[in-house]
Structure 1
Amino acid sequence: MTTFDYNEELIKAMKGKLPGGVNLANTLIDMLYLGKEAVYRRLRGEVPFTLAEAATISQKMGVSLDKLVGSNKGMNAIFDLNIIHYSEPLETYYSIVDNYVKIFQEIKGDPTSVLCTASNIIPQTFYLKYELLSKFRMFKWLYQFEKIDIEHHFEELQMVDKLLDRQRDFVRESQEFNRTVYIWDSKIFVYLVNDIKYFARTNLISQEYVQKLKKELIQLLDELEEIAVQGVFKTGKEVSIYIANVNFEATYSYIATSAYRLSLIRLFAINSITSHDENVFRNVKEWVDSLRKYSVLISQSGEIQRIKFFNEQREIINRLCE
C-alpha cells in the first residue's frame, strides 16, 4: 500500500469513528497538538501522518492500524496485555489504572456511552475505592508470583497515596457512563472470602486485619445493595445488575460509544488484556449480552431474588472469622 493510500484509508477510518456533526479537523487539532494548516495538509494528502501521529489516533479513536495495512488477513487481532512489570509493580499498576481513568473521562460526556461487565469477581469499579480490599488484591498478586518474601505480612505492604487516589478516581469516573450493566457470578463474594481465609490460615494476614477486611466487605455489600435498589449510581446514571445462574470462567467487559470500542478480558488477577479490534469487540459483546438469558435482574426489580442474594452474601462474609 502506498503512503497516499495509507493516509486515505486512515482518514476514512477516522471519519467512520466520529459521530455525525463532529469536525475531524478540529478533533485532530486537539488530539495531535498541530496547527490548523498542518492538519488540513494531512487531510488533503499533501503530507502523510507520521507513525507517532497514527499511533496516537489509534489509541485515542480506536482505529485499527493493523487492518489499514492488511496485517489481519489471518483473522488476527492486536491485544494490549497491560503487563505489570515485576521490578516496579505499584508504578506500572498505577499507569494502568491511570490510563483507564483517562479513557473514562474522555467518553463520559457521550450520551451513547455504555459499560457492560460479566464478572466472576467483585468488579474493580466497586472495590478499588476501598483501601484494604484493593491492597489485598495487590498482595495476592505479588504473593502468587513470588514477588514478595513469604515472611512478609499483608499489613507490611505499603500502597502509595497517589495510587489510592487514582483508584478512587477510577471508581468515580466508572459511574459516569450513560448506561452500565453488570452480570455477576453468584459466588463473587465466596471467592474473595476463601482467598482471605487462606492467607489468614498461613498467618500472612493477622486476625486484626481480617476483621478490618470484613468491615470493608460489609460496607461494600451495603453500597451494592443500595445501588441495586435504586437502579442508579449517586451520579444519577442508570445501572442494571443481574445475578447469573451459571458460573463464569473469567471476567469479560466492553466499553462502547458511537465512535469508540474497547473489549477487556481479565488476566493475572488484577489486570485485563484489552483490544480495539472490531471482531473481538463483537464477540465479547455477544458473549456478555448472551449471559442475560441465564440471569435474574435485581436492580429496581426482582425484589425477592435481590434480598435473598444480599442476605446470602452477608452470611458468607460473617463466616470470614470462623
Structure 2
Amino acid sequence: MITEVLNNNLIEAMRIRIPDGTNLANVLMDILYIGKEAVYRRLRGEVPFTLAEVAAISKSLGVSLDQIIGISSANTAMFNLNFLHYSEPLQTYSSMIRRYAEILETMSGDPKSVLSTASNMLPQAFYLKYDYLSRFRLFKWMYQHKQVNCVQKFSELQLTQELIDAQKAFVKANQDFRTTNYIWDQMIIIHLVNDIKYFRDINLVTEEEVEKLKEELILLLNELEEVATIGMFPKTRNSVNVYISNIDFEATYSYAGTENLEIGMIRIYSINSITSLDKAFCKSQKDWIKSLKRFSTNISVSGEIQRIQFFNTQREHIKEL
C-alpha cells in the first residue's frame, strides 16, 4: 500500500513538471533508458520505480522527495546551485547558458508564458548578443576567481562557437515569451561602467577595448530604449512592460512560468543563478517582483518624460568611460 502511494505521488509530481501535451512515457524513456513497455508497467503501478530511477527522475525534472512522500514545508525548497567548474570555465558556462535556454524554450511558446525580472544589472537577454560586453562579464568573473588561470588580460579571452550559439539560443528564448516584465534598477549602467574603469586602470583592458565596449553599450541602450518605447520586442512582437525602480535592488530576481511549469532564479556570483522549480519559492519570487512595481515607474509606451530622462542619464554614465 505504501509503495502504491509513493508511486502515485511520483507520477503526479512528474506530470506537474512537464508541459501540457508532452507524453510522460516518452520523457521517462529518455531519462531512464528503458523501453516503452517497461515505462508503462511503472505508470500503471504494476512495477514500482526503483530508488535509482527516482533519483534520475528527481535530477532531471526537479521532483523533490518531499513531494513523493507527501511532506511539504513552506520553509524548505530544492535549489540547483549551477556552480561552474574552474578547470573548464568556458565549457561549463556554455552548458549552463544552454541549460537555461532549454528550460525557457519549453515555456516560451505557451500563449500564457510570462517572464519577469527585477534587475540591478544589465539583462543577460540583451548583453549576451554583444561580443565585447558578453566577454567582459565572463572575464570579470574569471579574474575574480583565482582558480581560473586561463586568461590574464581581456584580449586573451575568446569565446568558443559552442558558447556563442548557446548565448544566441538564450537571447531568442527570452524574447519568445508572450509577456515580459522588466524592473530596472537605476544603477544598471553605472555598475558596469565602474567595472570597465577599474580594469582599464589596472591595464587589463586597453583603451581601444574600452571604446569597443562603449560602442556596444550605446547600441544596447538604444535597443533597450526602443523596446521600452514600443512596449514589445521588434522581431517577435511579444509584449514587454518596462519599469524603472526608485529603490535599489540587493540582487537580480527572475521568474518564468506557464500554467503548468515555472522556475524561479536569483543571480549570484556575477554570471550565475541559483534556480528552483519549487512551487512555494516560485510564488514567492513572483510576489516579490510584483511588489517591487509599487516602487517603480512604468516607462513602456507611457511615461515618456521619465523614459527620456532615464536613458539620457544612462548615456551620461557611458560618456564617463
Same fold (TM over 0.5): yes
* 1:261 to 1:151, Cα distance in 2 relative to 1, 3 A: closer
Residue 48 of structure 1 aligns to a residue whose secondary structure is: coil
In the alignment, which residue of structure 2 is the partner of 1:154?
A: 154
Q: Assess, with a 3 A threshold, how the Cα gap between structure 1 residues 173 and 31 changes in structure 2: closer, same or farther.
A: farther
Q: Mark the CA change 1:192 to 1:129 in structure 2 (over 3 Å): closer, same or farther.
A: same
Distance 1:202 1:216 in 2: 22
Partner of 2:243: 242
Query: What is the root-mean-square deviation of aligned Cα atoms in Å?
Result: 2.3
Task: Give the stretch that moved more between structures: 257-266 or 37-46.
Answer: 37-46
C-alpha distance in structure 2 between counterparts of 1:74 and 1:27, whole Å: 28
Aligned to 2:259: 258
2:24 equivalent among 22, 27, 32 = 27
- Partner Cα distance (2:179, 2:155) in 1: 37
SS at match of 1:47: coil
| 1:212-245 per-position Cα deviation (integer Å, ceiling 9, x unaligned) | 0000000100111111111111211111110000
Match of 2:132 in 1: 132
Cα gap change, 1:235 to 1:55, in 2 (>3 Å)? farther
| 1:278 to 1:150, Cα distance in 2 relative to 1, 3 A | closer
* Number of the residue aligned with 1:49: 49
Retained in 2: the 8 A contact 1:29–1:35?
A: no
Partner of 2:312: 311
Contact 1:32 1:56 in 2 (8 A): no
From the superposition, tell whether residues 39 and 151 of structure 1 become closer, same or farther in structure 2 (CA, over 3 Å).
Answer: closer
* 5+ long unaligned stretches in structure 1: none
What is the alpha-carbon distance in structure 2 between the residues aligned to residue 147 and residue 71 of structure 1? Answer: 40
Letter aligned with residue 24 of structure 2:
T
Matched, 1:11 2:11: yes
The AA in structure 1 aligned to 2:189 is F
Distance 1:52 1:314, change over 3 A: farther
Kept after mapping to 2: 8 A contact 1:64/1:276: no
1:61, CA displacement in angstroms?
Answer: 5.1
Which residue matches 1:287? 288
Give the whole-Å Cα distance in 2 for the aligned partners of 1:289 and 1:73.
Answer: 23
Which secondary structure does the structure 1 equivalent of 2:243 belong to? strand
Cα displacement (A) at 1:6: 1.2
SS of equivalent residue, structure 2 residue 24: helix
1:47-196 equivalent positions in 2, closer than 5 A: 47-51=47-51, 53-55=53-55, 57-58=57-58, 62-69=62-69, 73=73, 75-148=75-148, 152-196=152-196
TM-score (norm 2): 0.91
Q: Closer, same or farther in 2 for the Cα pair 1:41/1:23, shift >3 Å?
A: farther
Give, as a single letter, the amino acid of the residue that structure 2 aligns with 1:209: E
What per-residue deviation string (whole Å, max 9, x for no partner) do you get for residues 175-223 of structure 1?
Answer: 0011110100011001000000011111110000000000000010011
Whole-Å separation in 1 of the counterparts to 2:152 and 2:67: 48
2:4 alignment partner AA: F
Corresponding residue SS for 2:302: coil
Which amino acid in the other structure matches residue 6 of structure 2?
Answer: Y
The answer to whether the 8 A contact 1:84-1:92 is kept is yes
The aligned amino acid for 1:101 is A
Is this contact kept in 1: 2:15–2:24, CA < 8 A? no
1:111 deviation in Å?
1.2
Query: Given that residues 180 and 241 in structure 2 are in contact (C-alpha distance below 8 angstroms), is that contact kept between their aligned partners in structure 1?
Result: yes
Cα deviation 1:5-62 (Å, max 9, x = unaligned): 211111233445567xx567x3332453465543432222111234565456546655
Deviations 1:60-89 (A, max 9, x none): 655433332357558321111100011111
Distance in 2 of aligned mates of 1:23 and 1:133: 39
Structure 2 distance, partners of 1:110, 1:47, is 34
Structure 2 residue 215 is the aligned partner of structure 1 residue 215: yes
The answer to whether the 8 Å contact 2:254/2:264 transfers is yes
User: How far, CA to CA, are the matches of 1:71 and 1:193 in structure 2?
Assistant: 48
CA distance in 2, matches of 1:60, 1:106: 14
Deviation readout 1:238-275 (Å, 9 max, x if unpaired): 11110000000100101111111211011110010011
1:155, CA displacement in angstroms?
Answer: 0.8
Report the Cα offset of residue 119 of structure 1. Answer: 0.3
Counterpart Cα distance in 1 of 2:62 and 2:150: 42
